[in-house]
């Protein structure tokens, strides 16, 4: 399977590595994100948009189609995580997490769906998290949003199964990305731990005692688009060293 793949959050980390992996496999690429400088640095076709804004997403997808044709694969990767004790959480904190991590997936999948229905083929992939399958302390909003992504994935997989479209979620543990660096800095600031001890506190639940690497996520996404994965639908592929 080849064609046109759209990857959100494509300027850095998992999104950028996934985009380059698909480009090496012969796909036409459009990356999307809010920051033009990081998108431009990838030397790939891009559209600037905020996934929480359905109008911006629709316009970005229209521009991507005009340049590279109908959407074959969509990888909903854009996300964010904030840490706060539940007792100090506000409704705005929860909304911020669901807006980008759940509504953002909804918006990009809706924008991609017409092309896939017309072709009777396609792949919808969400980069979710082990936080969509279990709880972690101090990130209740993030966990709630990622659990929502899993529910959306499973429901849509059944709805589209007879249309030749598969819908799956990749659920990594902590990935070594700029977002992880921010999380470690937050732990250091709030607890006084060293960076090394903060890292150990995050890897302790991974039986391999390590962070997941971006190439592991990118390779899994590419495999989901292979013919060998044509029956993989509604699945949550965990990349966690055995944690889940």
Does the annotation count 136 as an active-site position?
no
Q: Grade residue 4 by pLDDT with cuts at 50, 70 and 90.
A: very high
Give pTM, 2 decimals: 0.93
Helices (H), the chain: 13-24, 36-40, 54-68, 91-98, 104-119, 140-160, 178-191, 195-203, 214-224
Residues 86 and 182 in one domain: no
pLDDT for residue 104? 98
Q: Are 79 and 193 part of one and the same domain?
A: no
* 84-113 tens-digit pLDDT: 999 999 999 999 999 999 999 999 999 999
> What's the domain range around 220?
4-174+212-239
Residue 38 CB coordination number (10 Å): 19
Percent of the chain with pLDDT over 70: 100
Give the pair of three-digit tokens for residue 159: 């709805």
- How many distinct structural domains can be found in the chain? 2
Question: CA angle, 35 as apex, 128 and 127 as ends, to 5°?
Answer: 10
Same domain? 183 vs 127? no
244 found inside a domain: no
Task: Choose the catalytic residue: 27, 46, 136, 142.
Answer: 142
Nearest in space to 3 (alpha carbons), one of 115, 89, 94, 81: 115
In a domain, 59, yes or no: yes
């Amino acid at each position: 399977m080849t064609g046109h793949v759209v990857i959100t959050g494509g300027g850095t980390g998992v999104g950028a590595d996934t985009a380059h992996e698909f480009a090496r496999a012969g796909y036409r690429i459009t990356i999307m994100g809010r920051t033009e400088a990081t998108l431009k640095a990838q030397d790939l076709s891009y559209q600037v948009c905020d996934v929480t804004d359905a109008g911006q997403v629709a316009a970005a997808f229209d521009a991507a189609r005009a340049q590279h044709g109908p959407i074959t694969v969509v990888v909903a990767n854009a996300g964010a995580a904030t840490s706060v004790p539940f007792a100090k959480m506000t409704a705005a904190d929860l909304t911020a997490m669901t807006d980008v991590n759940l509504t953002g997936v909804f918006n990009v999948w809706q924008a991609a769906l017409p092309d896939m229905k017309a072709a009777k083929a396609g792949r919808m992939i969400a980069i979710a998290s082990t936080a969509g399958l279990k709880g972690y302390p101090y990130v209740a909003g993030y966990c709630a949003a990622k659990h929502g992504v899993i529910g959306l994935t499973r429901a849509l997989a059944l709805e589209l199964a007879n249309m030749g479209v598969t819908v799956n979620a990749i659920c990594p543990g902590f990935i070594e990305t700029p977002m992880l660096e921010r999380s470690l800095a937050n732990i250091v600031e709030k607890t006084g731990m060293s960076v090394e001890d903060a890292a150990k506190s995050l890897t302790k639940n991974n039986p391999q005692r390590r962070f997941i690497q971006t190439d592991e996520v990118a390779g899994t996404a590419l495999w989901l688009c292979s013919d060998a994965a044509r029956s993989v639908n509604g699945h949550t592929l965990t990349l966690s060293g055995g944690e889940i």
